[in-house]
Amino acid sequence: MVRAMDTTFSGLQMRAKSKKALGQRIAIYHYKPLGTKEYLFYLCLGLLAIILPLGYGWIRFQYGYTKYGEIVAHQWGRPWFILAGFALITSLLLIVHRLRLASRYIAVHDHGLILALSSKNAFRWEQLGGISASITQSSLLGQRFRQRHRAIIYPNVGKPLLLNDSYLGLAECISRIKAKLYPRLLPGLSASFQSGQWIYFGPVAIQAQKLRIHKHEFDWSQVNSIHIESGYMVIEWVNHKQQRIRVSEIPNIELLLQFIHTGVTA
């Protein structure tokens, strides 16, 4: 019992130290809460999934009991009753999962970031290698829907972490992360660029005289222009051909464009 309490206390101390190391919290962005309409939707969907097999199973049970007796009635009704039970369990698990999603959040601190996603991760800014973000807007029959934001955080160690606009205020959150992260990345990238090294932005890498896309190298003299269009970075070649790369695949794209517009030589 004492050992368990010591372990719990040690865990609390580590979390407290982690929060202290990240400094003061600037903003927190919660996952969308489970609202009344969404809860009723899950409830109605679950009831429908339960009632349909349960009702049909009862009909089969009654018909079998009337015509052939109790044994046949159980054989005919059992599979549908079992299916209704599975539907009940699935519905409950779905609601529990949604409630767990609602407990997720992103917290931006002075010295780092807390991502409480499927697991809770704390990063100092120097532990992050970049962020990519994109905005999409779908349409149907000329009717445009609301814009959707999406971001990917790239830790120096570990897998990228996806953020979507289920987090309230994600657009503002992305701006805050970039404002904290970019000034820390820029000096190192500038030093590498000035010394003639390649600097990498996902599938794109650049140096003063060359551009690399998916391991294919090009002289800047082959490039006519580079601009952003409808969620893509569009490369216009001097032969009038185009190459398009999704903005969501390119971390730190603002820094990439800054180097392209101010530092490369054709």
- What pLDDT does residue 37 have? 87
Q: Which of 141-155, 179-193, 228-242 has the highest mean pLDDT?
A: 179-193
Give the whole-angstrom CA distance, residue 196 versus residue 44.
62
CB-based contact 167:177 (threshold 8 Å):
no
Give the whole-angstrom CA distance, residue 95 versus residue 101.
10
Find tokens 């998916």 and name the residue.
214
The residue among 206, 187, 201 whose CA lies nearest residue 266 is 206
pLDDT average, residue stretch 168-195: 94
pLDDT average, residue stretch 134-161: 82
Confidence band of 10 (pLDDT split at 50, 70, 90): very low
- What pLDDT does residue 151 have? 94
CA of 247: how far to CAs of 152, 201, 233, 252, in Å? 11, 11, 6, 10
Annotate 182-236 with DSSP letters as a single string.
HHHHHHHHHHHHHTT--EEETTEEE-SSEEEETTEEEEGGGEEEEEEETTEEEEE
Q: Which ranges of 69-195 would DSSP assign to H, the alpha helix?
A: 70-101, 170-194
Fold of 2-32+103-186: PH-domain like (2.30.29)
Structure confidence by residue, pLDDT tens digits, 136-148: 766 666 676 677 8
Give the whole-angstrom CA distance, residue 61 versus residue 38.
34
Give the whole-angstrom CA distance, residue 121 versus residue 100.
16
pLDDT exceeds 50 at position 7: no
- Residue 159 DSSP code: -
pLDDT average, residue stretch 196-205: 94
> Looking at 23-32, 98-107, 141-150, which range is the least confident one?
141-150
CB-based contact 167:106 (threshold 8 Å):
yes
The pTM for the full model equals: 0.79
The residue among 169, 148, 133, 170 whose CA lies nearest residue 249 is 133
Structure confidence by residue, pLDDT tens digits, 40-96: 888 899 999 999 999 999 999 998 888 888 888 889 999 999 999 999 999 899 988
Q: Under DSSP, is residue 48 helix (H, G, I), strand (E, B) or coil?
A: helix
Residues near 198 by beta carbon (within 8 Å), at least 6 away in sequence: 192, 205, 206, 207, 212
Kindly list the domain boundaries of the chain, sorted by start residue.
2-32+103-186, 36-101, 196-263
pLDDT exceeds 70 at position 4: no
Give the whole-angstrom CA distance, residue 191 versus residue 2.
53
